[in-house]
A and B are shown apart, each in its own frame.
Chain A
Amino acid sequence: MRGTVTGSVSGAVRDWLRPHRIGLIALALALAVWAGVSMRWDWIPRYAGLGLEGLWRTLWLLGLSILIGSAMAVPLGLAQASGPVWLAAPARWFCTVIRGTPLLLQIWLIYYGLGSLFPQYPWIRQSELWPYLRQAWPYALLALSFSFAGYEGEVMRGAFRSVPHGQLEAGRAYGFSRFAVFWRIHLPQAIARALPTLGGETVLQLKATPLVATITVIDIYAVASRVRQDTFIIYEPLLLLAVIYMIIAGLIALGFRLLENRFTRGLGV
């Protein structure tokens, strides 16, 4: 067992050390050095604090919208897979509308639409929530969560459908209540089946977050835009931004691979 593991590791190392790869890596390093030396990076220290704040905002918007969106996706998927028609039809419509229109439009509809509607009602202006509703991030979070729920709801529909019916019947035959069948058999199996797509959906969600900069949320993308506006440096902030997003996407992919190995063990999915 150990022999095969070290064997595959040395195989991977040998894979990277093939002659043309060494050449390409050297070329990439040369490009990176050239970029580091001849491009302008002197703005980084001045904007580092703002950048970290922006990065943090991007990450919690991503995490929170995925949490809320997943929580919505479970009933959306279940309603479509095995719900009565008066629940299944609205759930299907929600997913179709979210997936059929651009996220940018949804963000603007929620921010400008709700944002212009709320102040007309005095009871909203006097409520405790008003200080939050005057800021942009709740609308961004809402739009991102709806979007994730729409896409993931469709995935969950397929996942709930693909759980073999015999398992649910077996649960009922053992005297499980309907809720217990759902909680202990249907849901865990559906999640295990949806997990392989979840990593990809999370990366897609990460790539959607910079859109919130258009409604004045200062995420990492907005910080880079501000650097561009302040200093008239065009390429450098964008390149650094691309590298940052690639690192986050890589970490997400890695994390989900580990999670998947643990979660789907012995499920035979």
Chain B
Amino acid sequence: MLDGLYSLWPGLEASVTLLSLEPPGWGANLLRGAVNSLIIALGAFGLGAVIGIFGALGKLGGGPVTRDLLSVYTTVVRAVPELILILILYYAGTDLLNQFLRLLGQRPVEISGLAAGIGVLGVVQGAYATEVLRGAIQSVPRGQLEAARAYGMTRSQTFRRVTFPAMLPLALPGLSNLWLIATKDTALLAIVGFSELTLETRQAAGSTRAYFTFFLAAGAIYLLMTLVSGRIFGWIEAHYRRGQAGARA
């Protein structure tokens, strides 16, 4: 069947060879890059969610200084291009860490691209997650919180048992959007030289001159990631919406 296709479309055979997983092809490199991208996206999304929860609680219940500092954080991150934030945080982060280590009398370390990527993108994601989660927490009906207090729950119990489960379905659309941004933002790490999917693709394309083949293949991989994760988020959302009064279909 493939032979028939090859005769119809002469370029296809060359493309398939280039994308094959064995050494003459670059498929293995692309897959390695895709795995790196996924790991960074997962790490950054997780870190961003943790920052976001604390940021949202700080914005809603913190003191005036905490609230102002958090507004500065979310405003700056949302106004400055991710690329520049990544560069600033990357250099400043490694610098600060090494100065700290020197203070302790340790030798400076080379930070792995993976850890730096997760840290930097996580800080960027955290600003957006703060806003998403703040909005979701705010729209939990007050009566539910008052009921929890009336039952004698402590603040942390109220958060774990009432606020968190009640705000999750409201936050999920925003969080799923953030996850898509996280997967796409991993491509920016190509510019600081981390070999995730986009950089691997560029190297493969540059050395074989088959630009369309590789960039389209990488596009298909990204698209697969976003479409599959969109479906997964849809399931999660449906799961948490069960039994919600006035749930939108």
Contacts and interface: CB of A to CB of B under 8 A. Distances in A.
A102 to B, nearest CB: 3
A245 B84 contact: yes
A241 B180 CA distance: 26
Nearest to A224: B84
B145 interface: no
B22 interface: no
B59 to A, nearest CB: 15
Contact of B219 (A24, A105, A235, A245): A105
Interface in A201-220: 203, 206-211, 214
What is the predominant secondary structure among interface residues of chain B facing chain A?
helix
Contacts of B92: 235
B83 interface: yes
Contact of A208 (B81, B85, B205): B81
Contact of B83 (A97, A116, A211, A235): A211
A109 interface: yes
Given A113-B212, A250-B79, A103 B64 contact: no
Contacts of A102: 184-188, 198, 222
Given A100-B223, A242-B80, A246-B80, A108 B215 contact: yes
Contact of A238 (B64, B84, B209, B219): B84
A21 B68 contact: yes
B209 A116 contact: yes
Contact of B211 (A21, A24, A112, A209): A112
A249 B87 CA distance: 19
B65 interface: yes
B227 interface: yes
Given A104-B190, A105-B201, A117-B212, A245 B80 contact: yes
Given A207-B79, A242-B85, 10 more contacts: A24-B65, A24-B69, A101-B222, A105-B218, A116-B211, A221-B83, A235-B92, A238-B87, A239-B88, A245-B80
Interface of A: 18, 20-21, 23-24, 96-97, 99-106, 108-109, 112-113, 116-117, 203, 206-211, 214, 221, 234-235, 238-239, 241-242, 245-246, 249-250
Interface of B: 64-65, 68-69, 76, 78-85, 87-88, 91-92, 180, 184-188, 190-191, 198, 201-202, 205-206, 209, 211-212, 215-216, 218-219, 222-223, 226-227
